[in-house]
Amino acid sequence: MAVCIAVIAKENYPLYIRSVPTENELKFHYTVHTSLDVVDEKISAMGKALVDQRELYLGLLYPTEDYKVYGYVTNSKVKFVMVVDSSNTALRDNEIRSMFRKLHNSYTDIMCNPFYNPGDRIHSRAFDTMVNSMMMQVC
Amino acid sequence: MSRSPGRKQDNHKISRELFVLTYGALVAQLCKDYEKDEDVNAYLDRMGYSIGIRLIDDFLARSAVKKCRSYSETADMIAQVAFKMYLGVTPSVSCSSAMGNEFSLILDKNPLVDFVEELPAERASLCYCNLLCGVIRGALEMVQLAAEVTFLQDRLKGDAVTEIGITFLRKPEDRKHKRNK
């Protein structure tokens, strides 16, 4: 279960950030922000061939003492960053991949909405529901 | 059988996503161009009307249906044949007036709003699929049936189903001398 999920636009500003324990929100925002550097590093290291599904998923970006940060980049350079609690039973790679895939599918649904302008913040109820289902139940 | 040689009979299939996205872009652009929802609705209806007056010939040519003898047959035809042919859904028809000239088509699946979750807050009274109303109205007018077509319920506005109401306006003279083809 994720603790924080963020969707970052191509220009590296957040389109959507949601974290579950809402009192430490700023810390998660900071974590996501710093993870963007790692994302950029991985993208440039991979080179131009970003066609395969496997290469969209960046894997573990870096572990901190409490959390692990995973990244995923789409072909349109929109990044999904997920912060997962380390104390939680180690989530298998496949589960993280499937969570990212669901995120990606929901994101494409939002993009298809004719009233959504690419680059706007995401205010969709369906997306919120999907993200909620992936977040940890704290209370 | 109506089969003209120059016309490909294989029902060109284009991508449904492309169609839905095109319609969405059309509505979004109209929303940008006109501030008032009523204007957007009126223009969608007008566009639908000009589509309908042309579409009716295509429909009659491809479906080769017999002349409808009553309003309820006409409504059934629209729901079961026309909608099925063009949108792939079959709304259910119900007659909502004792006089037999008001019908409603209840759509539980509307392919045009596949990607639209809900209307934006500032467009609360937009009838997103008003084009369909114009199409039905234009098509009926070309077969000498005047009708008013509006949306009675809309899922995008929070109602349970999408309901299109067709009210046939009675003309004073009888329909005996009307010929469809």
Instruction: Report how far residue A97's alpha carbon sits from residue A104's, in angstroms, rounded to the nearest whole number.
Output: 10
Whether residue A128 lies within 8 A of chain B, CB to CB, comes out as no
What pLDDT is attached to residue B27? 93
Is the pLDDT reported for residue B181 higher than 80?
no
Count: domains in chain A: 1
Question: Is A81 a domain residue?
Answer: yes
**Using an 8 Å Cβ cutoff, are A61 and A35 in contact?**
yes
| Range(s) of the domain holding residue A56 | 1-132
In a domain, A137, yes or no: no
Model pLDDT, residue A139: 35
pLDDT at B40 over 50: yes
Residues 80-109 of A with CB under 8 A from B: 109
pLDDT at B12: 73
- Using the Cβ of B64 and the Cβ atoms of chain A, whether some distance falls under 8 Å is answered with no
A114/B118 touch (CB, cutoff 8 Å), yes or no: no
Q: State mean pLDDT over B64-79.
A: 87
Query: Has residue A92 been placed in a domain?
Result: yes
Integer angstrom CA distances of residue B76 from A41, A104, B53, B90, B181? 62, 41, 19, 10, 19
Residue B13 or residue B23, greater confidence: B23
Q: Supply the pTM of this predicted model.
A: 0.81
Looking at the complex, does the CB of residue B144 fall below 8 Å from at least one CB of chain A? Answer: no
Q: Is the pLDDT of residue A53 over 60?
A: no
- Please, which pLDDT band fits residue A30 given cuts at 50, 70 and 90? confident
> Who's near A60: CB < 8 A, 6+ residues apart?
A68, A69, A70
pLDDT(A92) > 90: no
Q: Mean pLDDT for chain A?
A: 83
Give percent of chain A with pLDDT exceeding 70: 89
B50, containing H or E segment: helix B37-63
Rounded Cα distance, A74 and A79, in Å? 6
| Residue A62 maps to a domain | yes
> Given this model, what pLDDT does residue B11 score?
64
Q: What strands lie across the sheet with B162-168, from one edge to the other?
A: B92-95, B102-107, B162-168, B147-153
- Closest residue, chain A, to B23 (C-alpha): A114
* Domain of residue A101, CATH code: 3.30.450.70
The whole-number pLDDT of residue B1 equals: 45
Q: Which of A27-31, A48-52, A55-59, B38-42 has the lowest mean pLDDT?
A: A48-52
B17, B33, B117, best to mutate vs chain A, most A CBs in 10 Å: B117
Chain A residues touching B17 at Cβ < 8 A: 112
Q: Is A138 part of any domain? A: no
What is the pLDDT, as a whole number, of residue B132? 93
Is A139 domain-assigned?
no
